[in-house]
Structure 1
Amino acid sequence: MKMVVKEWLVRTERLEIVFDGEALDDMRALELIFAGLDAIGARRAMFGSHGRELGRADLEAQVMASRRFPTDLRAENYEFRFGGSVAWKHTFVMVTGSPGDVGVWESWVSRAMGMPGFVQSWISQRDYDYWQNAEDPLEYPGSGRSCEHLPMISSGDPPPLDRVIIDTSRNPGRRTIRSGYVEGIGAVMWLSPLFWQRVRRQRNDAELVEAGWHVTALSDGNIKVDAAMNVFTEQGDSAEQARLRAAIYG
């Protein structure tokens, strides 16, 4: 049974799409999800939320009435999450599923790039992304993992809340929230002109190519960069990921 679960996690991918400030609200996030489902031929998909099955009209009415995006929204074997931070000046949509095809994810991204405030997007493997950013040592034994070889630091909380946590600051797959963007990495990424403003770097295609990225110019100054057709995993080359990451974030 454990092997089955592990294989399922390996297949599960996550698409993260980041928008500037409050460019995306609950209803616009729904519009993006609907558009992505339409693009993959799932226009009539039913949504599951809190044990209920809803059509699009009922889901829109629920979100408009509550002014809250559902916390457990699902459809067509995909899971959807919407959130953001006023303090960190960004909002995001996450789509989790197992398409095994970059083109499926690109259906969502192409629609996102046409919306105001698009900053960036990338694909990650959910299991890999989780453990690259897990800080609590207590999570490891229950998952059959050891953290004895990992660097530890203080949580920085005042006594008596201070505790020892795992230092993820040098992990190649770390996800760090920044002002106006998220410092994340994927084997396939989409970056907007606004992204380069947020990271305060000049876009340099030659530097990206030298690091190992393949750069494709898209409309409106957006670019797609890819280093491989598959997502990064624990079996990947961490030095390569670090080099690719440095070419984007410095």
Structure 2
Amino acid sequence: MKDKRPEKLKFVFAADSISGEQVLATFIGALNKLGLPTVFSMHGVDVGVKALEKNISKKKSWPSGVVSNGLELRFGILPALAHSFLTIQEAGCANKIAWEELVAPFLSVKGLIQAWISDVEYDFWQNAKDPMEYACAGRSFSQLPQKTNGLPAPLTQMEIDTSGNPGRIELRQGYVEAIGSTMWLSDLFWENVGKNRASTLLLLRAQGFIVFEGAEFVKVVASESCFHDDKTIEMQRTLRGVLFD
């Protein structure tokens, strides 16, 4: 049974390999295959597909606040890093859509670099740097490592040092350094990361990870459920080390 904690699925595409309109069309195709209604809203207000397409066509990135079938959708472009991204996040715990069904249509996108599944809350706190976020949530950060933000006075302040967190997200040129309980990695991933696919897969298998090899994609399964606490920290560190170190 699926974990009750909200999860999210993130895709990373090569620059200019897919447009905002194409992302919408692919997502709608996935909804049709799942037998789900093609309904959307923006900031809580219903919006038709044609109106949404018109909005997206005005700029390359999607507008914020797009939701469909209990899923929050965000598409953006990072030209300086030569990639774009799509995040599909559960808006609550009741959603029962299988991520595998949403991944499948996007695997045919030639520029897809990687995709992975993560726990929403765990992902947030693994990457939260502002002490005010902890204070507002009533969470203690006194035992966490801290460092200065590197900005000149008077902007200098202390922030949480996330550099040792296995679930941290690092934006790289042509890919994202991140891990998930299930990951899909294309040939572009290995090329951009600078890793040999065959030898890396041998290492992953040797460490107990499940690896499925396809013609264009490798699927790596580290755990049936998303990483969400320190109980899997050694597994996370091992996975991250094999893929990115």
Question: What is the TM-score of this pair, normalised by structure 2?
Answer: 0.91
- What is residue 169 of structure 1 aligned with on the other side? 163
Rate the CA distance shift 1:193–1:74 in 2: closer, same or farther, 3 A: same
* 1:30 counterpart = 2:27: no
Q: Please tell me whether the aligned partners of residues 60 and 77 of structure 2 are also in contact (alpha carbons under 8 angstroms).
A: no
Deviation at 1:235, TM superposition (A): 4.4
CA distance in 2, matches of 1:169, 1:235: 16
Q: Please tell me whether the aligned partners of residues 175 and 182 of structure 1 are also in contact (alpha carbons under 8 angstroms).
A: yes
Amino acid of the structure 2 residue aligned with 1:16: K
Deviation at 1:238, TM superposition (A): 0.9
- What is residue 62 of structure 1 aligned with on the other side? 55
Q: Please tell me whether the aligned partners of residues 146 and 160 of structure 2 are also in contact (alpha carbons under 8 angstroms).
A: yes
Rate the CA distance shift 1:67–1:169 in 2: closer, same or farther, 3 A: closer
- What is residue 207 of structure 2 aligned with on the other side? 211
Deviation at 1:65, TM superposition (A): 4.5
After superposition, the C-alpha distances for 1:49-94 in whole angstroms (9 at most, x for unaligned) are: 1343123233223322465512000011110001121001110000
CA distance in 2, matches of 1:146, 1:32: 42
1:59-208 equivalences in 2 (<5 Å): 59-65=52-58, 68-97=61-90, 98=93, 104-203=98-197, 204=199, 205-208=201-204
CA distance in 1, matches of 2:206, 2:62: 42
Secondary structure in structure 2 of the residue aligned to 1:108: helix
Q: Please tell me whether the aligned partners of residues 10 and 126 of structure 1 are also in contact (alpha carbons under 8 angstroms).
A: no
* 1:242 counterpart = 2:242: no
Q: Please tell me whether the aligned partners of residues 61 and 75 of structure 2 are also in contact (alpha carbons under 8 angstroms).
A: no
Deviation at 1:36, TM superposition (A): 2.5
**How many residue pairs were aligned?**
239
Deviation at 1:210, TM superposition (A): 1.5
CA distance in 1, matches of 2:213, 2:20: 30
Task: Give the unaligned 5+ runs of structure 1.
Answer: 1-8
CA distance in 1, matches of 2:106, 2:118: 17
- What is residue 16 of structure 1 aligned with on the other side? 10
Deviation at 1:166, TM superposition (A): 0.6
Moved over 3 A (4+): 65-68, 98-101
Question: What is the TM-score of this pair, normalised by structure 1?
Answer: 0.89
Q: Please tell me whether the aligned partners of residues 66 and 74 of structure 2 are also in contact (alpha carbons under 8 angstroms).
A: yes
After superposition, the C-alpha distances for 1:199-228 in whole angstroms (9 at most, x for unaligned) are: 00101221011123100012x321100011
Identity %: 35
Amino acid of the structure 1 residue aligned with 2:55: Q
CA distance in 1, matches of 2:120, 2:43: 22
Amino acid of the structure 2 residue aligned with 1:206: L
Deviates more, 1:125-134 or 1:17-26: 17-26
Q: What is the Cα-based RMSD across aligned positions, in Å?
A: 1.9
Deviation at 1:244, TM superposition (A): 1.3
Q: Please tell me whether the aligned partners of residues 73 and 89 of structure 2 are also in contact (alpha carbons under 8 angstroms).
A: yes
CA distance in 2, matches of 1:50, 1:134: 24
Q: Please tell me whether the aligned partners of residues 9 and 89 of structure 2 are also in contact (alpha carbons under 8 angstroms).
A: yes
Rate the CA distance shift 1:133–1:145 in 2: closer, same or farther, 3 A: same
Task: Give the unaligned 5+ runs of structure 2.
Answer: none
